[in-house]
Amino acid sequence: MVAAGTGGAAAGNDSSPSPHSFQPAPFVSPVGALSDAIVVLSLGARRIPGLPIRFGGLRGRSASGLGRFPAMPCVFCAIRDGQLPALVVAENERAFAVLDINPINDGHALVIPRAHTETLYDICDEDFVATVRLARTVGAAIRDALQPAGLHLLQNNGVAAFQSVAHFHVHLIPRWEDDGKGFTWDLVPGSPTRMAALADRIRAALPRATPAQA
């Protein structure tokens, strides 16, 4: 998913842009997730061809081994670098938060580490902590500003888990009663024997589990 908007956060009175500042930029049209597309930038009534994004090819397995992502430039890195616009709602030294261009509900935000890492298995501890802290702050702001009945904190890893951009990010999705959006699975009791065996396998893997380091 990509971000939307025409604005950004300003820091101080210095007019020169910094690596961690966001400048106003034109609107980016939504991009379909499973077809070839062209991002189009719009300045008033004038439409300007922008960054081509190709989804037809596959670039091999991800660094985390979670299958293949579509071959495409990183939208979130482009936003970070000021090459694509976004409505930035908050930021810190290691992460920033923007509104999703395809919101599930009003206030749907994405919290993104500045450093490019694909998944939960690749992100370093410092970036992970900074991203989650910012997510909690933005989630509280969404609660106070929009007063939703609930809030999803959602983070997808790999194509099979519906991660559409190969750059770690957290979704904050406000929910209201009877908003019609769904998000349920059928509850089917697990086999106690199978679950015990799975728990043993996970425990056995813990000593060799190697999260990314800074």
Residues classed as catalytic: 169
Q: How far apart are CA 40 and CA 57, in angstroms?
A: 21
Nearest alpha-carbon partner for 166 in 38, 52, 61, 50? 61
Nearest alpha-carbon partner for 169 in 126, 211, 113, 115? 113
Q: Which residues contact 164 (CB under 8 A, 6 or more apart)?
A: 1, 33, 156
CA distances for 70 relative to 36, 63, 165, angstroms: 10, 14, 8
Question: What are the helix and strand counts (H, E) for the chain?
Answer: 3, 10
Residue 38 φ/ψ, nearest 5 degrees: -120, 125
Q: How far apart are CA 65 and CA 87, in angstroms?
A: 32
